[in-house]
């Protein structure tokens, strides 16, 4: 963002002679950007390049530096058997990997969808004037402020099949006929993870949307009242189009976060094929199974998938921005 | 076309009483201006009429029917806001048509005609496809007025519509609103302002408010010539009326003597003596500020240019039939 906004005046003035003041500004901007770029190169750029490099080698944990280049072997390789059939191997034909991709995408879609809907409702409530609004606003942030490990453990205990309060409540209220191992059963594991993530992240979404809502001037709602616009129509015709830019940013934050989900699933449903995501699988290969190169290949693919999502979203989002702004 | 009647209207926000019992009748087709200093409750009173605020006690009648509990959209009103309150994501056309398109059984072609007619009245037809952010302040305010016109209201409410415009535009838009009133002479208009010039130039009748109560209601010239209190006398007219107390007032059998700058004459046998402290030449007229031992300098308004030097001593007399005498309570002695 910063480079874009700083660079645009230069482009527009490019045809003319660049003024000294403008050159000075551009120089200053570059100096201000430098520390961030260096930090990013060290903490993100270098590890990323290393991962990509390792994904083309046969590296293992106990032989990182003696790794040899094997090209695309980790991604796809094939051998022709004596019988003449071709056997493909590698990440691109690994069902465990595609299961993880499917899990991740499914998780990201449902969690972000629910967080957006619930976050919008919470934000609308918090945007209204009522007594003790400040306290409620602070209180609603608590789930988000708790470290994920803690909330995952907490929910793990609540969802426990033997001692969990949810099973106990369900039985007492007659909603359940028998105790359910929510996190361990393949059918319910994903739902359990989704519930915890939605509980945890809705406040964050609500806060971002609330910031957008508070940018909308109050008087246009009064104008709408005089125009006789029904409150539901006011929401869809006025609030939603005007909060849209903030909503788009909030959603992309959450999509990126959800696509690299790791900690919650690692703690709540370890080793469940029903919830194993790309990050969890990559870590498993990298450190547990000593398939360092294979794990690196998964990490690289994860990076590419997230990058593709982001580019697609920004590209589509821009089209929509223009449409919404009319 | 509607008459509005306010019966002992009160409004409080929590423990703060903003409107403290207002009785007022606004006639059909009348241009009524609420004027007063900031915090006097004039905007609140307008919002009570619009229905955007609930009335705490008292009765509000439109054409003899109580409307206390009626929603704003059911009152047949349109309102122009100080901040324009345009929908930022809609074009000028959509802004003006929005309210109409939501009404059931409205023909699209009919809506288009109404919007275009209003746009022609305000000369904004060329901007119908633009967004509010692509318009200047004056154009936005015209769109806001246009949106109100398309509603074809019985009552037109203005909440300080000119205060966000620069001086030249303010005068131009003021004239347009005056023309609008002439063109819509059946529509009752209520206009809030803190600017007494707007009040004087636009109003059929002015309602001067002070501290949540009506100070005086009357035509502009009634307020100018026969103010019911020192407050009204001081608020209406520019430059402000001079108030003289003490011995000079006692000579006129009153506790405070009010005299407008244009009703003071400089002549050699004037009854009062003052020292010139400053002169303002405005071209067509001039204000001469005289130090006369009162708290504030006395302003004399002269036609044409004044060539008095600071420090010069002048003698002035009030025109006998133009003085306003007030008793200790600030009420006029007539």
Size of interface A-B (CB pairs under 8 A): 65
- In terms of average pLDDT, the best of A115-119, A135-139, A186-190, A282-286 is A115-119
Question: pLDDT grade, residue B154 (50/70/90)?
Answer: very high
Chain A residues in contact with B151 by the CB 8 A cut-off are 226-227
Last residue of a domain, one of B233, B257, B275: B233
> Of A214, A198, A237, nearest to A124 (Cα)?
A214
Q: What is the pLDDT of residue A8?
A: 44
Beta-carbon contacts of B255 under 8 Å, excluding residues fewer than 6 positions away, are B245, B249, B326, B327, B328
Residue with tokens 């838009």: B173
Tell me, yes or no, whether B333 lies in a domain: no
A226: which chain B residues are within 8 Å (Cβ-Cβ)?
50, 52, 72-73, 77-79, 99, 151
Kindly report the pTM of this predicted structure: 0.79
Q: Which of A225, A237, A241 sits opposite B73 (nearest CB)?
A: A225
Whole-angstrom Cα distance, residue B158 to residue B35? 12
Per-residue pLDDT band for A1 (boundaries 50, 70, 90) equals very low
Asked if residue B251 and residue B160 are part of one domain, the reply reads no
Local confidence band at A36 (pLDDT 50, 70, 90 cut-offs): very high
| Least CB–CB distance from B83: residue in A217, A224, A227 | A217
List beta partners, residue B213: B210
Please judge whether B90 and A219 are an interchain contact, meaning their C-beta atoms are less than 8 angstroms apart: no
**pLDDT at residue B193 tops 70:** yes
Residue B164 pLDDT greater than 80, yes or no: yes
- pLDDT tens-place string over residues B287-321: 999 998 878 899 999 998 888 889 999 999 999 88
B173 and B299, same domain (yes or no)? no
- Per the CB < 8 A criterion, the answer to whether A201 and A111 are in contact is yes
Please identify which residue in the block is written with the tokens 């508070």: A214
For residues A217 and B226, what is the distance between their CA atoms, to the nearest angstrom?
Answer: 43
Number of domains in chain B: 2
The last residue of a domain, from among B233, B256, B272: B233
- Range name among A205-214, B82-91, B164-173 with the lowest pLDDT average: B164-173
| Predicted ipTM of the assembly | 0.84
Per-residue pLDDT at A106:
94
Helix H or strand E encompassing A303: helix A292-325
The beta-carbon neighbor of A226 closest among B77, B88, B89 is: B77
d(CA B321, CA B39): 35
List of residues 6+ apart from B81 with CB closer than 8 A: A219, A222, A223, B144, B159, B161
The verdict on B196 and B149 lying in the same domain is: yes
Nearest to B52 among A225, A230, A238 (CB): A225
Name the residue in chain B with its Cα closest to that of A216. Answer: B88
| Contact list, B79 vs chain A (CB under 8 Å) | 222-223, 226
Q: Are A112 and A254 in contact (CB under 8 A)?
A: yes
- Which pLDDT band, with edges at 50, 70 and 90, does A319 fall under? very low
Confidence of residue A318 (pLDDT cuts 50, 70, 90): low
Structural domain contains residue B332: no
- In this complex, the residue of B77, B85, B99 whose CB is nearest that of residue A219 is B85
pLDDT at B293: 81
- What is the share, in percent, of chain B residues with pLDDT greater than 70? 100
Q: pLDDT (tens digit, 9 = 90+) per residue, A194-219? A: 999 999 999 999 999 999 999 999 99
Matching CATH number, A96-325, of 3.20.20.70, 3.40.50.300, 3.30.450.20, 1.10.3720.10: 1.10.3720.10
User: What tens digit of pLDDT does each residue of B100-128 get?
Assistant: 888 777 788 999 999 999 998 888 899 99
Which residues of chain B neighbour A242 with C-beta distances below 8 Å? 88-89
- pLDDT at position A156 is 92
What CATH code is carried by the domain that includes residue B319? Answer: 2.40.50.140
Contacts of B99 in chain A (CB under 8 A): 226-229
In this structure, of A67-81, A92-106, B147-161, the range with the lowest mean pLDDT score is A67-81
Residues of chain A whose beta carbon is less than 8 angstroms from a beta carbon of chain B are 217, 219-220, 222-230, 233, 237-238, 241-242, 324-326
Residue B331 forms part of a structural domain: no
* pLDDT tens-digit readout, A269-308: 988 888 999 999 999 988 888 889 999 999 999 999 999 9
Domain that holds residue B252: 240-326
- From B147's Cα to the closest Cα of chain A, the distance in A is 9
B183 and B317: one domain? no
Query: Which band of pLDDT confidence, cut at 50, 70 and 90, is reported for residue B1?
Result: low
Measured CA to CA, the distance from residue B217 to residue A288 in angstroms comes to 88
Does position B169 have pLDDT exceeding 90, yes or no? no
- B47 and B156 in a single domain? The answer is yes
Q: What residue segments make up the domains of chain A, in order of their start?
A: 2-43, 96-325
Residue B161 with chain A: CB contacts under 8 Å: none
pLDDT of residue A80: 86
Identify the pLDDT of residue B61: 94
């Amino acid at each position: 963002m910063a480079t874009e906004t700083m660079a645009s005046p230069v482009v527009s003035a490019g045809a003319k002679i660049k003024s000294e003041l403008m050159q000075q500004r551009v120089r200053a901007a570059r100096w201000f950007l430098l520390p961030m770029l260096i930090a990013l190169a060290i903490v993100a750029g270098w590890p990323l390049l290393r991962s990509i490099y390792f994904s083309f080698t046969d590296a293992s944990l106990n032989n990182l530096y003696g790794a040899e280049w094997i090209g695309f072997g980790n991604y796809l390789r094939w051998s022709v058997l004596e019988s003449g059939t071709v056997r493909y191997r590698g990440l691109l034909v690994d069902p465990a990997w595609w299961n993880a991709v499917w899990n991740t995408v499914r998780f990201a879609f449902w969690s972000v969808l629910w967080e957006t809907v619930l976050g919008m409702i919470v934000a609308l409530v918090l945007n209204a004037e009522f007594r003790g609004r400040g306290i409620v606003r602070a209180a609603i942030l608590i789930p988000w402020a708790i470290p994920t490990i803690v909330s995952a453990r907490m929910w793990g205990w609540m969802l426990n099949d033997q001692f969990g309060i949810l099973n106990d409540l369900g039985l007492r209220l007659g909603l359940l006929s028998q105790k359910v191992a929510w996190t361990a059963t393949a059918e319910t594991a994903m739902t359990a993870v989704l519930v915890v993530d939605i509980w945890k992240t809705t406040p964050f979404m609500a806060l971002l949307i609330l910031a957008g809502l508070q940018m909308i001037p109050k008087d246009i709602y009064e104008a709408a009242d005089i125009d006789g616009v029904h409150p539901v129509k006011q929401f869809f015709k006025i609030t939603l189009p005007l909060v849209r830019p903030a909503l788009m940013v909030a959603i992309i934050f959450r999509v990126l976060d959800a696509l690299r989900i790791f900690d919650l699933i690692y703690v709540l449903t370890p080793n469940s094929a029903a919830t194993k995501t790309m990050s969890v699988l990559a870590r498993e290969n990298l450190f547990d199974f000593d398939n360092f190169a294979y794990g690196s290949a998964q990490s690289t693919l994860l990076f590419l998938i997230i990058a593709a999502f982001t580019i697609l979203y920004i590209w589509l989002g821009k089209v929509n921005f223009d449409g919404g702004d009319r | 076309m509607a008459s509005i009647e306010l019966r002992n209207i009160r409004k409080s926000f929590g423990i703060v009483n903003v409107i403290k019992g207002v009785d007022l009748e606004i006639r059909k087709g009348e241009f009524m201006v609420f004027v007063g200093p900031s915090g006097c409750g004039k905007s609140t009173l307008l919002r009570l009429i619009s229905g955007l605020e609930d009335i705490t006690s008292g009765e509000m009648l439109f054409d003899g029917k109580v409307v206390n509990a009626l929603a704003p959209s059911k009152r047949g009103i349109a309102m122009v806001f100080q901040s324009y309150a345009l929908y930022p994501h809609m074009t000028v056309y959509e802004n003006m048509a929005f309210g109409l398109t939501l009404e059931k059984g409205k023909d699209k072609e009919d809506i288009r005609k109404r919007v275009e007619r209003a746009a022609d009245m305000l000369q904004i037809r060329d901007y119908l496809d633009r967004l509010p952010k692509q318009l200047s302040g004056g154009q936005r305010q015209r769109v806001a007025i246009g949106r109100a016109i398309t509603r074809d209201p019985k009552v037109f409410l203005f909440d300080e519509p000119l205060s966000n415009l620069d001086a030249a535009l303010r005068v131009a838009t003021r004239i347009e609103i005056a023309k609008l009133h002439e063109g819509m002479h059946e529509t009752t208009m209520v206009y809030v302002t803190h600017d007494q010039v707007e009040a004087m130039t636009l109003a059929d009748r002015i309602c001067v408010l002070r501290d949540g109560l009506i100070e005086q209601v009357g035509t502009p010239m009634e307020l100018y010539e026969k103010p019911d209190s020192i407050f009204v006398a001081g608020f209406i007219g520019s430059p402000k009326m001079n108030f003289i107390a003490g011995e000079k007032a006692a000579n006129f059998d009153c506790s405070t003597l009010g005299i407008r700058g244009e009703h003071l004459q400089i002549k050699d046998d004037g009854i009062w003596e003052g020292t010139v402290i400053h002169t303002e030449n405005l071209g067509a007229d001039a204000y001469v500020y005289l130090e006369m031992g009162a708290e504030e300098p006395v302003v004399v308004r002269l036609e044409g240019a004044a060539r008095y030097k600071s420090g010069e001593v002048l003698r002035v007399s009030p025109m006998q039939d133009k003085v306003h005498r007030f008793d200790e309570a600030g009420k006029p002695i007539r």
